[in-house]
Structure 1
């Protein structure tokens, strides 16, 4: 077990471990986004009752197989930045890039929900919104604790 733990980020505090965790989760998201529409369609539930569920999904969504794979690839890119930043949390450039990935996620999900009205609030949307908002706030508050000039 200790040999497995040695692969985790070694920096003090929980933030590097959290960045590692959400980075690994993004890799898992890539796999599911390429295999099924089910989970991506839950994130992008349509507020329009006239929209029918996509094939293999139980909820109305504008999600297509192409959108699901694009979303998975986008999530992988963000996850890779977060993974790398988890090991380089004291370097301003990697810390800032990881922070920006969360700001981009906040903008994307928030604008689809509040600005464009293309998705409705639900548990599928709540998870990425909560993770991106809380991680952004956490990283802003802790910036001086991790980044070394």
Structure 2
């Protein structure tokens, strides 16, 4: 068991503090989110289930016209998955190069974009409503933004 833990630790960022490990965790979670966004609409539909959304219907066949009233479509879900994957890569690079100002700033900006996206979908566009599905991304983006701002000088000189 100790050798397994040691093997796992050897792949984690070797910098001080918890932030680099957190960035890896969030990046791996985003990769999982990418897989689900490409394979099903159900999870993405939970986040973007605002008042104008309708229940997810099966993927249209060539004989069935697609619904024009759904907020989450197969294309929007895959686009969200691609966006999540790009953010995951940036955050992974930052986790392993956290003392590099450019990587740190890029990772920070991914959280700014995520925060702005989710808040605008909730407050401006109305495609999200507050609840457990939206709380996760908002808490992670807000909390990480504050955390990275506070510890900036600890990692970047």
Over aligned residues, Cα RMSD in angstroms?
1.4
Preserved contact between residue 54 and residue 62 of structure 1 (Cα < 8 Å): no
1:84 matched to which residue of 2?
Answer: 93
Preserved contact between residue 103 and residue 136 of structure 1 (Cα < 8 Å): yes
Q: How many Å separate the matches in 2 of 1:61 and 1:124?
A: 18
Preserved contact between residue 46 and residue 61 of structure 1 (Cα < 8 Å): no
Q: Say how many residue pairs are matched.
A: 143
Shift of 1:23: 0.6
Shift of 1:66: 0.6
1:96 matched to which residue of 2?
Answer: 105
Shift of 1:52: 2.2
* Helix, strand or coil at the partner of 1:109: helix
2:83 matched to which residue of 1?
Answer: 74
User: Residues 61, 125 of structure 1: CA spacing in aligned structure 2 closer, same or farther, 3 A cutoff?
Assistant: farther
Q: How many Å separate the matches in 2 of 1:64 and 1:32?
A: 14
TM-score (structure 1 length as normaliser):
0.92
- When structure 1 is superposed on structure 2, of 86-95 and 60-69 the one drifting more is 60-69
Shift of 1:61: 5.7
Shift of 1:118: 2.2
Deviation string 1:4-26 (CA, Å, 9 cap, x unpaired) is: 21000110000000001001111
Q: How many Å separate the matches in 2 of 1:62 and 1:15?
A: 34
Gaps of 5+ in 1: none
Shift of 1:54: 1.4
Residue of structure 2 aligned with 1:22, choices 23, 26, 47: 26
For the pair shown, the structure with the greater C-alpha radius of gyration is 2
Q: Which runs of 4+ in 1 moved over 6 A?
A: none
1:13 matched to which residue of 2?
Answer: 17
